[in-house]
Structure 1
Amino acid sequence: MTKTRDHGGNLDAAMVRLGGTPGEWLDLSTGINPMPYPLPPIPPESWAVLPRGTDMARLSDSAAAAYATSARVIPMAGAQGAIQIVPWLRTPGRAAVQGPTYNEHAAALRACGWQVSEVAHLEALSGADLAVVVNPNNPDGRRHAPERLSALAATVGLLIVDESFADPDPDVSLAPGEVPDNVVVLRSFGKFYGLAGLRLGFALANGTLADRLAEMAGPWPVSGPAIEIACHALADPDWQAQTIAKLTEGAARLDAMARRAGWDLVGGTPLFRTYAAPDAAAAQNTLAGHRVWSRIFPYSDRWIRLGLPQDTRWRQLDTAMEAARCT
């Protein structure tokens, strides 16, 4: 039997257990921006024809400019699409993942025959045939300076740096520097731009590694409408700056609520916050009683993660957090 992978975004399961409708629930179990990029006009042709090579090149160039990178940018069906490809880039051997972290990395590697171990410290990744670092990390927001990751790359066979939550914190990104030939940088479009349904992400790499990624992604890894939307969004620095400021303000507001509830900040990014509560499962149940869905973790009985709500739903969250303070 296939083991179910533990994820946020599982509101369906919450509704089966607790009732309610999607409109009643405030789903904060993911780290997706609740203020999505406003959709631009989409040419009808984008729906009707396969993306051309020039369209794909336009998307790659837009992403390269947005991420300030000289590496080759390969569009993918979400960062998850790249995660599924990574295990096939080398012959399976010994992989090490710095954890705890997003569990799809280890799961995808194991499914393809890799021997996977989870390590706590960056230095313990040294010597692995393939190493994975999520930077900033999900769920605790742990960060590593780009120089440390470049140094780590020299000690492993292949280094995967997942920067899915790096958009609000560009200084942490490895992309603007010289991306080593044995490094793949993963970027998510949907999380920061609040359009996860587009299923768009990017893999940044150089040389034969980039060639291999492009070959395995295939000629049409993303849709025409996704290309049009992303090219607008990636070239909109004013929206990006305003959104980073608003997310940062929202994260501080959420931290203040958590402090009043007696929770300690573990870490996070402007897109999500992880706290230590006395009893994470009890806290989740209390919030759920007010139709607020959160994320807890099988490896910790205290950690609880919350994304940010839409502007119109802060009152619902405040009421739920007030109830959590009283339990």
Structure 2
Amino acid sequence: MLKHGGGLRAAARQYGIALEDWVDLSTGLNPHGWPVPAIEASSWQRLPELDDGLEQAASDFYAAPQPLAVAGSQAAIQTLPRLRPPCRVGMLTLTYAEHPYAWQKQGHHVLRLAPEDIDAALPQVDVLQLCTPNNPTGWLPEPAQLREWHARLRQRDGWLVLDETFLDVTPERSLLPLAGQPGLIILRSIGKFFGLAGARAGFVFAWPALIEALQDELGPWTLAGPARQAVRMALQDRAWQAAMRQRLPAESDRLATLLRRHGLAPGGSTPLFQWVCHPQAAMLHRQLASQGILTRLFDAPPSLRFGLPAQESDWARLDQALASFTLVKS
């Protein structure tokens, strides 16, 4: 199993700090998650029903053709590599680790690229997989550039696979207006923007033949009934969505300002996290954890991803903890 954010119970055991005393900044989730109401008992007692309005709600929210609902984008990440014979797959050097792992596991050759090398390397790959924005660096190419790469790949039956997990705050940067065109696969997740990671819900947008092949591979009931009900209601809550699109960028800017004040200038960001490269990132990660603050550590390059604190007391704890690390910053 690859390392991910979260794992709060393990951190509590390791550092001897009670679970309720932690500030978890490790996942990049919206800390003000959509408030799930009581779920109808029937959702627990019947098999999931595909005519419950979820796919239509997703189509309306994303302004795109009806997608395939899946158990989080992770389900699609693991399954898509099975739908092509072994080929050459380009992706960023530092990105969400499940992507290269899944493609390599199915026998594909993964070519790791810096953002500035993608254009020149495109003729060498059959699939270009990108997180847009990238996790954890926050790099986000212009939609026009993505459209050009898609057109070039499509000419030779290649794929452009976009993981837009962190893009819900800025939907205008999405390639969803092209959803359904051959060669373009877009993954979306409910976990980050809506803060509903436990629902394990996401969507795949692609051309009909690919959706059918993916559905056949995944089998029936890809998403549990209670999750379908909660996600449908969240997708329909336009007032909450509008409020979050105002709130989250402001809080991300506040986090960047706090980090800079302590000599930790971010090297990349999204509205849901800030990414800081530092040669002593591992030490800073451990010292923050010793005070009950969990961050996401990356080894190469040494760096930390900071999610948004949930409440004012969490902001204060992070500020105070960082103030004590003058040795780390020297």
| Kept after mapping to 1: 8 A contact 2:277/2:301 | no
Cα deviation, residue 278, structure 1:
4.8
Deviation at 1:166, TM superposition (A): 0.4
SS of residue paired to 1:274:
strand
Say whether residues 1:84 and 2:78 are aligned partners.
yes
Matched ranges for 1:258-273 at <5 A: 258-273=259-274
* Partner of residue 90 from structure 2, selected from 86, 96, 120: 96
Paired residue secondary structure (1:191): coil
Does residue 41 of the first structure (1) align with residue 41 of the second (2)? no
- TM-score by length of structure 2 reads 0.92
Determine the C-alpha separation between the residues in 2 that align with 1:286 and 1:164.
Answer: 30
Q: 1:114 maps to which residue?
A: 108
**Residue in 1 that maps onto 2:256:** 255
Matches of 1:234 and 1:53 in 2, distance apart? 16
Q: Which residue of 2 aligns with 1:151?
A: 148
Q: Which amino acid aligns with 1:306?
A: F
Which secondary structure state, in structure 2, belongs to the residue aligned with residue 309 of structure 1?
A: coil
Q: Which residue of 2 aligns with 1:319?
A: 320
Moved more, 104-113 or 150-159: 150-159
How far residue 325 of structure 1 moved from its aligned partner, in angstroms, is 4.6
Secondary structure of residue in 2 paired with 1:9: coil
Instruction: Tell me which amino acid in the other structure corresponds to 1:119.
Output: L
CA contact (8 A) 2:87 2:108 kept: yes
User: What SS class does the counterpart of residue 171 from structure 1 fall into?
Assistant: helix
Q: CA deviation at 1:246?
A: 1.5
Partner of 1:229: 230
Q: Percent sequence identity over matched residues?
A: 38
Specify the code of the residue in structure 2 equivalent to 1:307: G
What is the deviation of 1:324? 3.0
Residue 286 of structure 1: how far off its partner (Å): 2.4
Distance 1:285 1:178, change over 3 A: closer
Alignment of 1:63 onto 2:64: no
Could you tell me how far 1:144 is from its partner in structure 2? Answer: 1.4
Task: State the distance in 2 between where 1:277 and 1:324 align.
Answer: 13
The residue that corresponds to 1:74 in the other structure is 68
CA distance, structure 2, for counterparts of residue 119 and residue 180 of structure 1: 25
Alignment of 1:1-327 (within 5 A): 4-55=1-52, 58-70=53-65, 72-121=66-115, 122-123=118-119, 124-156=121-153, 157-301=158-302, 303-311=303-311, 312-325=313-326, 327=328
The alpha-carbon deviation at position 8 of structure 1 amounts to 1.7
The SS at the match of 1:321 is helix
Task: String of CA shifts for 1:164-223, please: whole Å, max 9, x gaps.
Answer: 000011121111235431111000111111110010011001121121122223220001
- Mark the CA change 1:193 to 1:307 in structure 2 (over 3 Å): closer, same or farther: same
Kindly provide the CA deviation profile for residues 33-60 of structure 1, in whole angstroms up to 9, marking residues without a partner as x: 11111112322111100012312xx211
Q: Give unmatched runs, 5+ long, in structure 1.
A: none
Q: Is the 8 A contact 1:153 1:180 kept in 2?
A: no
Structure 2: distance between partners of 1:125 and 1:77: 31
Q: Deviations over 1:94-122 (max 9, x none)?
A: 11112311010000111111111211133
Q: What are the Cα deviations for residues 268-291 of structure 1, in whole angstroms up to 9, with x where unaligned?
A: 111111013352112212212321
Secondary structure in 1 matching 2:192: helix
RMSD (Å) for aligned C-alpha atoms: 1.6
Q: In the superposition, relative to structure 1, how do residues 180 and 325 fare at CA in structure 2: closer, same or farther (>3 Å)?
A: farther
Give 5+ residue unaligned stretches, structure 2: none
The letter for the 1-side match of 2:79 is I
8 Å CA contact 1:97, 1:125 repeated in 2: no
The 3-state SS of whatever aligns with 2:141 is: coil
Distance 1:200 1:19, change over 3 A: same
Measured against aligned partners, the alpha-carbon deviations of 1:111-145 in whole angstroms (never above 9, x if no partner) come to 11111121113312444122201101111111112
Counterpart code for 2:246: A
Letter in structure 2 aligned against 1:299: A
Between the aligned partners of 1:269 and 1:248, the Cα distance in structure 2 is 8
Cα distance in 2 for residues equivalent to 1:278 and 1:107: 26
The amino acid that maps onto 1:25 is: W
Please tell me whether the aligned partners of residues 262 and 277 of structure 1 are also in contact (alpha carbons under 8 angstroms): no
Aligned residue pairs: how many?
Answer: 320
